[in-house]
Chain A
Amino acid sequence: MAKPFSNLLKLIGVAIVAMALLGGLAYQLDRLEVVSLWGDFLGGFHPVVLHLPIGIVIAIALQTVWRRWRGTSTEGEDRLLWVLAAVTATVSFGTGYLLVMGGGYQSEHLTWHLWGAAIFSSLCWVGLAASCWETARWARDMITGGVIGAVSVTGHYGGLMVHGDPFAGAPWLNDPQRFAKFGEFGPEVRVYDEIVVPILGAKCVACHGPAKQNGRLRLDSFEAIVAGGEHGAVLFPGDLERSSIITFISLPDSHNDHMPPPNRPQITPPELAGLEYWVSSGAELDQVVSGEEPPAELAALMVPIYRLLEDPDALEAREAQEAEEAEQRVINRERLAADLAALPEHQRLGFSFEDLESDRLHFSPATYRHLLTTEDLESLLPLLQASVKVDVSGLPVSESLLRVLAESSQLNELDLSETSVGNEVFAILGKTPGLQRLNLFGTAVDVNAEITPGSFANLRQLFVANTAADVAALDVALPHVDVIGDLGLAPPEAVEEEDQSSD
């Protein structure tokens, strides 16, 4: 019996030595970190390595249980597993410590996690020692139990820090009936945890969190928010004007300091209202509101379908679609540019693109307007049909040309001012789908123009000044259109004003 007892003492000795070794390892890693980049690099391995000892320790426990149940307990069989457990535990402790050195993980969970890891690693060495030296079974079982306990504590807090509290949504903590009714918010809604953290998490933590600390500001934990950034505090409970956490996100978009930066997902009005509500009501960590009748400011957030970030699948589809459109635009542009290059100068000079990348074409000749003939326009028809704005004012526009133009799906604005077109224009262009603006200034349209009902569905503006058209009639016929006729000025004498000059 003495031997197992002395082994027990030895085991405790091993535990203490292991703890000391780990402390030394931590001190060494401390120094190493400052000197070179290796610290950061190795620290990154932690997430990979830490899951190994968990698996191995579970294997040990199962083996022990299996052996107990089968009654065949032989010494040293699980020594291999203990070796692996000890080695991987120590390695993961080391990498974990380096990761902490990298900074960015201050929270109370961390201390639990660190101590748990230290105990777990040393217990693994003790377990290894126990399986080498002949020790009482109850002692080895106790060690295995201790190891399981230590790893679950360490694992829990580790997970909390990185992945958040998995139990928050646990059924026994939340009454299922309540979830369904209020969009999964409980009767009491912890404003900070359930409203503020998700919003900040979605819109701010990418640049103010573990990965990056712009302006030395972190928003991924309550202490960090209170601590503030390089320009001091960002949160003044109850004072919206002074809290820059609010003022920066309510600046107009074009302002240079507007947060979040333009190329990031923006904070929506309901989210801003929610944050303002939290700050103005004292910005406490544990503030609770009723889930049934949430305050007005939070109501918009507490609906089942409220989306913080764009649904990833939708985002993916949108970006793919945009990319595909951009490609199509480039192809159109090159094709159109080639066609334009082939034109003689007096025709080409009238065309221009809407902007540097767009394939939307405008036609408004100026330099050679006085030289363009009907034949020119006829030959330009394919390009005119591809144009969104066509200004053929003062040009010999034939009816046939007008009919072809009317079929164009691209045409948004057509300027026929001072051409010879008459009332027939209303019949011809009535069906042009995209037509929004039609300029008939100084044309031959007159009172007997008829508008077939339902035509010009998308038209927004119609200019008929300097014509004989009946503006009132057109107004009635086209209620949704802004019809602009002759705009004169009140005659000069109409406005006299008694002079109140120097008394």
Chain B
Amino acid sequence: MNLWQQWQTDRLSHVTRRHFLQDCATGLGAAWMATQGGALYGKSGAHGASPADVMKNPLGVRSPHFPAKAKRVIYLHMAGAPSQLDLFDYKPELFRLDGKDCPSEFLEGQTFAFISGIPSLLAPRHRFSPAGAAGHMVSEILPHFREIIDDVCLIKSMQTDQFNHAPAQLLLHTGNAQPGHASFGSWVTYGLGTENQNLPGFMVLVSGGQNPSAGKAAWSGGFLPSVYQGVQCRSAGDPILYLENPNGVRRNQRRMMVDAIDKINRRTHEEVGDPETLTRVSQYEMAYRMQMHASEVMDLKQEPEYIHEMYGTSPGEESFANNCLLARRLVEQGVRYVQLYDWGWDHHGNGDNTIDKGLKKKCGEIDRPIAALLKDLKQRGLLDDTLVVWGGEFGRTPMRELRHGIVSETYGRDHHKEAFTMWMAGAGVKGGTSIGETDPLGFFVHDNPVHVRDLQATMLHSLGFDSQSLTYPYQGLDQKLTGVGDPPRVVSEIFA
């Protein structure tokens, strides 16, 4: 029978099976249907751990809402915003129009941090060449990146709302441009807890000589209980604040003290019956264990020589390479979310912050460690459930920067929120691909725009959460990472 007849018979049989008498609201069988109807759908609604029982064991392991590809995240944030036009978003048109005035239709209605008037276009100062199986054009100042491009998915159509560093970093990492909201790492440890109770669940490693512009607010717990805030590791002195005992105090002495304290606290609990007392007993046990485990995992000297040579580390100092190796060691031990910030990518053209020498120097610091990190994760079988994300807080303009209205001799670009490039790898991400395109000058996103909120929803999806169902009740609202408003889009094309 043809489609129409098939549909007729299907429709009727569907109807008889479930909805037949519904069409004629008072048909002879309606009454019977009403009683049989009942709840066709099981008890649905967002079922997850309620905030109350989360607080009993705040960092205990919890399952995601649906099967997840990623169990942990390593986020590599290049603070200052690397120039996507000089690294990944290859624009032949820009080479052709180098030095020409920027077409006015790009400038209407646009506001910039520093540029005013009519700036001129600026071509990349380094050559591009095809890389990987698909031959994506990548700048030659990232020589080692070519070796891992087949594990990476480039997102060339990123967009954000803010063009100042601090608000843009806050929007990207906490979902809101003003400080006071929970950061991504806090949400993930609130949602999933952490596997290794001897270590913090959310750790932050900083390099490049400075904290990022947003400061601690970028890894704060915001309205979430403070147990979920990021713990900043430091390359000099205690890796975690107050981890090491004061000089002269040895580990076994601490053991005796902890035993003595526990004994008295247990007595207090028997007397007064406050459950918090017992919790404090277990926290002191964990603090004792953390002193050993944390210092062990932070001790890079335990790695064999070939690993140090592969990453290009320099133990004892603060370096991006050290932080990459540290990131691998932390996720290997079960830390849930490792956030790296590398300062120094704000290439406006002032001082040595230029897109020719300055950018090349910064690429030199990160290219080898990132390639080593991905390869090391892959060879240990960790890459398949570790999501690695790389990027800045916004992009840089195709035009040359005009600080104070004066053409600077050095090469620099201004902040640009309309289009920039990030990449993701691991945890089911389709390697060797690129999604989204910008217009010939790289000014606007031309196809498949990905707002930072969409990126957040996509990362949450890979961790087994729908961006609308991971919530925390505060100020009468079920707060979400991606904030209120229409639910953002999961960019499913990224995953295999």
Interface, chain A (partner B; CB < 8 A): 40-41, 44-48, 163-164, 168-169, 183-185, 193-195, 197-199, 201-202, 211, 252-256, 301, 306-309, 311-312, 316, 326, 349, 352-356, 358, 360, 364, 366-367, 415, 417, 437, 439, 441, 461, 463, 465-466, 484-490, 492, 495, 497, 499-502
Residues of B within 8 A of A309 (CB): 7, 10-11, 14
Contact in complex: B7, A202 (CB < 8 Å): yes
Nearest CB in chain B to that of A362: its residue: B71
Q: Beyond A256-B489, A490-B147, list 9 extra A-B contacts (CB 8 Å).
A: A198-B7, A201-B11, A353-B63, A354-B63, A356-B65, A366-B333, A466-B379, A497-B140, A501-B126
B28 within 8 A of A: yes
- B46, chain A: closest CB distance, angstroms: 10
* In the complex with contacts A254-B489, A439-B381, A352-B63 CB distance below 8 A: yes
The 9 A-B residue pairs whose C-beta atoms are closest, nearest first, are A366-B334, A495-B143, A366-B196, A465-B379, A44-B25, A198-B3, A501-B356, A487-B375, A198-B7
Complex formed: what's the CA distance from A441 to B354 in Å? 43
- A359, chain B: closest CB distance, angstroms: 11
Q: Please count how many residues in chain B sit with their CB below 8 Å of the partner chain's CB atoms.
A: 70
Contact in complex: A48, B489 (CB < 8 Å): no
Nearest CB in chain A to that of B372: its residue: A489
B231 within 8 A of A: no
Contact in complex: B380, A441 (CB < 8 Å): yes
In the complex, 25 of the A-B residue pairs with CB atoms within 8 angstroms, ordered by the A residue number, are: A184-B1, A184-B2, A184-B5, A193-B4, A198-B4, A201-B11, A211-B23, A254-B491, A308-B10, A354-B67, A355-B66, A356-B47, A356-B64, A364-B195, A366-B334, A367-B196, A415-B381, A439-B380, A441-B381, A484-B378, A495-B144, A499-B360, A500-B125, A500-B126, A501-B357
Residues of B within 8 A of A484 (CB): 378-379, 381
Contact in complex: A489, B147 (CB < 8 Å): yes
Contact in complex: B3, A492 (CB < 8 Å): no
* In the complex with contacts A465-B379, A485-B379, A500-B127, A199-B3 CB distance below 8 A: yes
Residues of A within 8 A of B375 (CB): 487-489
Contact in complex: A47, B7 (CB < 8 Å): no
Residues of A within 8 A of B66 (CB): 355
Residues of A within 8 A of B487 (CB): 256
Residues of A within 8 A of B236 (CB): none
Complex formed: what's the CA distance from A439 to B27 in Å? 64
* In the complex with contacts A44-B24, A48-B28, A495-B143, A358-B67 CB distance below 8 A: yes
Main secondary structure of the interface of A (DSSP, over half): loop
How many A-B pairs fall under 8 Å by CB? 176
Most-contacted residue by chain A among B3, B47, B198, B464 (CB, 10 A): B3
Contact in complex: A502, B125 (CB < 8 Å): yes
Interface, chain B (partner A; CB < 8 A): 1-8, 10-11, 13-14, 17, 23-28, 42, 47-48, 61, 63-68, 125-127, 140-141, 143-144, 147, 195-198, 306, 310, 312, 333-334, 354, 356-357, 360, 368, 371-372, 375-376, 378-381, 384, 410-411, 464, 486-487, 489-493
Complex formed: what's the CA distance from A48 to B68 in Å? 53
Contact in complex: B381, A355 (CB < 8 Å): no
Complex formed: what's the CA distance from A355 to B65 in Å? 6
Nearest CB in chain B to that of A45: its residue: B26
Residues of B within 8 A of A202 (CB): 7, 10-11
Contact in complex: A48, B1 (CB < 8 Å): no
- B453, chain A: closest CB distance, angstroms: 13
Residues of A within 8 A of B5 (CB): 168-169, 184
Contact in complex: B411, A502 (CB < 8 Å): yes
Complex formed: what's the CA distance from A492 to B353 in Å? 24
Residues of B within 8 A of A253 (CB): 492
Complex formed: what's the CA distance from A198 to B2 in Å? 9
Q: B144 touches which one: A163, A353, A439, A489 (CB < 8 A)?
A: A489
Main secondary structure of the interface of B (DSSP, over half): loop
* In the complex with contacts A194-B4, A307-B6, A356-B48 CB distance below 8 A: yes
Complex formed: what's the CA distance from A352 to B460 in Å? 19
Q: B4 touches which one: A168, A311, A312, A417 (CB < 8 A)?
A: A168
Contact in complex: A441, B379 (CB < 8 Å): yes
Nearest CB in chain B to that of A442: its residue: B380
Contact in complex: A312, B411 (CB < 8 Å): no
Contact in complex: B379, A355 (CB < 8 Å): no
Residues of A within 8 A of B489 (CB): 252, 254-256
Complex formed: what's the CA distance from A6 to B198 in Å? 109
Most-contacted residue by chain B among A253, A326, A489 (CB, 10 A): A489
Nearest CB in chain B to that of A499: its residue: B360
Residues of A within 8 A of B11 (CB): 201-202, 309
- A344, chain B: closest CB distance, angstroms: 15
Contact in complex: B14, A312 (CB < 8 Å): yes
- A258, chain B: closest CB distance, angstroms: 10
Residues of A within 8 A of B492 (CB): 252-254
* In the complex with contacts A489-B147, A502-B125, A349-B140 CB distance below 8 A: no
* In the complex with contacts A169-B1, A184-B1, A490-B147, A417-B380 CB distance below 8 A: yes
Contact in complex: B26, A48 (CB < 8 Å): yes
Nearest CB in chain A to that of B125: its residue: A501
Contact in complex: B198, A367 (CB < 8 Å): yes
Contact in complex: B63, A194 (CB < 8 Å): no
Q: A41 touches which one: B26, B380, B384, B411 (CB < 8 A)?
A: B26
- A487, chain B: closest CB distance, angstroms: 4
Contact in complex: B17, A316 (CB < 8 Å): yes
- B388, chain A: closest CB distance, angstroms: 15
Contact in complex: B143, A164 (CB < 8 Å): no
- A121, chain B: closest CB distance, angstroms: 21
Residues of B within 8 A of A44 (CB): 24-27
* In the complex with contacts A356-B47, A489-B310, A501-B356, A256-B26 CB distance below 8 A: no
Contact in complex: A465, B380 (CB < 8 Å): yes
Residues of B within 8 A of A46 (CB): 24
- A362, chain B: closest CB distance, angstroms: 9
Complex formed: what's the CA distance from A361 to B384 in Å? 18
Residues of A within 8 A of B2 (CB): 183-185, 194, 198
Complex formed: what's the CA distance from A431 to B400 in Å? 63
* In the complex with contacts A41-B25, A183-B2, A367-B195, A201-B143 CB distance below 8 A: no
Residues of B within 8 A of A252 (CB): 489, 492-493
- B43, chain A: closest CB distance, angstroms: 11
Residues of B within 8 A of A497 (CB): 126-127, 140-141, 143
Contact in complex: A489, B368 (CB < 8 Å): yes
Residues of A within 8 A of B147 (CB): 489-490
Complex formed: what's the CA distance from A164 to B5 in Å? 10
* In the complex with contacts A441-B380, A490-B147, A497-B141, A198-B1 CB distance below 8 A: no
Residues of A within 8 A of B354 (CB): 502
Contact in complex: B3, A417 (CB < 8 Å): no
Contact in complex: B3, A195 (CB < 8 Å): yes
Residues of A within 8 A of B490 (CB): 254
Contact in complex: A198, B486 (CB < 8 Å): no
Q: B7 touches which one: A48, A308, A360 (CB < 8 A)?
A: A308
- B267, chain A: closest CB distance, angstroms: 23
Contact in complex: B6, A488 (CB < 8 Å): no
Complex formed: what's the CA distance from A308 to B141 in Å? 54
Complex formed: what's the CA distance from A349 to B197 in Å? 9
Residues of A within 8 A of B127 (CB): 497, 500
Contact in complex: A306, B144 (CB < 8 Å): no
Complex formed: what's the CA distance from A496 to B361 in Å? 14
Residues of B within 8 A of A211 (CB): 23
